[in-house]
Amino acid sequence: MSKRVFIDGEAGTTGLQIVERLRRLDGVVVQSLDLRARKDNAARRAMMASVDLVVLCLPDEAAREAADMFEGLGSAAPRLLDASSAHRVAHGWVYGFAELVPGQAAAIAQAARVSNPGCYATGAVALLRPLVDAGLVPADYPLTINAVSGYSGGGKALIADHERDGGPAFGLYGLSLNHKHIPEIERHGGLTRRPIFVPSVGHFRQGMLVSVPLHLDALPGRPTAREIGCALVAHYEGEGQVRVRMTPAEQRLDAACVAGSDLMELFVFENEAASQAVLVARLDNLGKGAAGAAVQNIGLMLGLGVSGRVAERVPA
């Protein structure tokens, strides 16, 4: 029997991407409200009570309000996946990065409420959590994280700005150093010291690079780049959606070339003589950074026997 999924906010960028992926999966039926009923709370509540899983693709405050609707549904309440940033560090919610630690995928599969990770946080946490857990990077180490994203993750106004003639080429933002992904990176990256995070937007629609520079000789134990790479390989061994490139031949990475993929690549670049390294995660901000991760979590939560890998193109 097919599982029924309702996407509250399906007309947004992430919602549309999730719908597209789910319609290519067997065993799932996407239930939709008539356009005129999408802001009718009674209709939304009735739809929620009729399905197996609800995905929230809403602004943060609206996502909190939608989650509150579940309180009155009792035994009729379905499973809930929130694609906003409203519940990523909230009590009672399971973090939806299946590769985070051993057992995380099983926790997602059993959870009533799952919070889908943020795009930047997915790259940063993927790089840092294995190294913190392995003792190679102290939890209180002063870290700087830099990232560039395609403009499709910035909402309708930013998309329109980039898709008009003469749109901006590149821009830094979040320069108050208070981006909403920082608490998520700190919590799920296993950090006890707030990192400095500097995000930016490039003039390309989809794709993302998240980079973390390290002075290897300033780390306890003075690990080599190879030791760091081996720790990442050991952590992600057997994980189909995360691939570690131990000896990258590239001296230049193109973020946009992973558009359309639900996979994430991790790289370790080094200058051995200077005892310096740069860790890089490359992913599609709408793939593993949003809709791809959501479909992976939906597959786990509904027991579909799929990982959500519906688009696996990654350049050689």
Phi, psi of 14 (to 5 degrees): -70, -40
Q: Give the Cβ contact number of residue 180 at 10 Å.
A: 15
Single-letter amino acid, residue 204:
F
Distance CA 91, CA 50 (A): 26
Query: Quick one: pLDDT at residue 316?
Result: 31
Assign residue 119 a region (left: φ > 0; alpha: ψ between -120 and 50; beta: otherwise).
Answer: alpha
Under the banding of pLDDT at 50, 70 and 90, the label for residue 314 is very low
Under the banding of pLDDT at 50, 70 and 90, the label for residue 301 is very high
Residue 300: both structure tokens together: 């786990």
Tell me the percentage of the chain whose pLDDT exceeds 70. 96
Q: Among the listed ranges 50-59, 150-159, 181-190, 224-233, which one has the minimum average pLDDT value?
A: 150-159
* CA neighbor of 277 nearest in space, from 143, 130, 186: 143
Which residues are within 8 A (CB) of 113 and not within 5 positions of it... i.e. 6 or more apart?
67, 79, 80, 81, 82, 87, 92, 93, 94
Query: Quick one: pLDDT at residue 305?
Result: 66
Give, in degrees to the nearest 5, the angle at Cα 259 between 257 and 264. 85
**Mean pLDDT in residue range 121-134:** 98
Statement: residue 292 has pLDDT above 70: yes
CB 296 within 8 A of CB 307: yes
CB 192 within 8 A of CB 202: no
Domains of the chain: which residue ranges? 3-116+290-301, 119-285
Statement: residue 125 has pLDDT above 90: yes
* CA neighbor of 132 nearest in space, from 210, 85, 196, 185: 185
User: Is residue 57 flagged as an active site residue?
Assistant: no
* CA neighbor of 289 nearest in space, from 162, 126, 146, 144: 126
CB 236 within 8 A of CB 244: yes
Instruction: Convert the pLDDT of each residue in 196-209 to its tens digit.
Output: 999 999 999 999 99
Under the banding of pLDDT at 50, 70 and 90, the label for residue 240 is confident
SS (H, E, C) 126-162: HHHHHHHHCCCCCCCCCCEEEEEECHHHHCHHHHHHH
Superfamily of the domain at 119-285: Dihydrodipicolinate Reductase; domain 2 (3.30.360.10)
Which residues are within 8 A (CB) of 271 and not within 5 positions of it... i.e. 6 or more apart?
277
Strand partners, 212: 279
Distance CA 149, CA 282 (A): 10
What is the model's pTM? Answer: 0.92
CB 151 within 8 A of CB 173: no
3-class secondary-structure state, position 188: helix
- CATH class of the domain defined by 3-116+290-301: alpha beta
